[in-house]
Amino acid sequence: MAYLTDRKRAVGWGASKTGTQHHWSMKKSSVALLILVPLFVFTFGNALGGTYEEVLAYYSRPFPAIVAALTIAVGFKHFNDGVQVLIEDYVHGPMEKVLILAMTCVSYGAAGVGLFAIARLAL
């Protein structure tokens, strides 16, 4: 006979078994975006209104290119996690998995396009 408490029997048996990990992932990306978004606004503001050659020269420098790339990567990861929670809360059945998969593809695809654009400007 096993002598387990109710808590020991319940550990790992939550709704999706990853709630705490997902929560901390959202918290970490929120804090990262709290730092990155103002940096991105200030670095992007310097390039705004310039000619193509000026913007190209500006993003050829490492700091603006790195800030823009990090903002895109973390922003779309945060977006993907948030939309996943929204879908899990309001959609049920097989359509839930389909929508989560579709939104994951869309968010990673958009992040890839954004990172490719920054790489083209920076290199």
Residue 80: CB atoms within 10 Å: 19
Q: Name the percent of the chain lying above pLDDT 70.
A: 88
Instruction: For the chain, list the domains and their CATH numbers.
Output: 19-122 (1.20.1300.10)
pLDDT tens profile 87-102: 999 999 999 999 999 9
Q: What is the pTM of this model?
A: 0.82
Please give the radius of gyration of the chain, using alpha carbons only, rounded to the nearest integer.
20
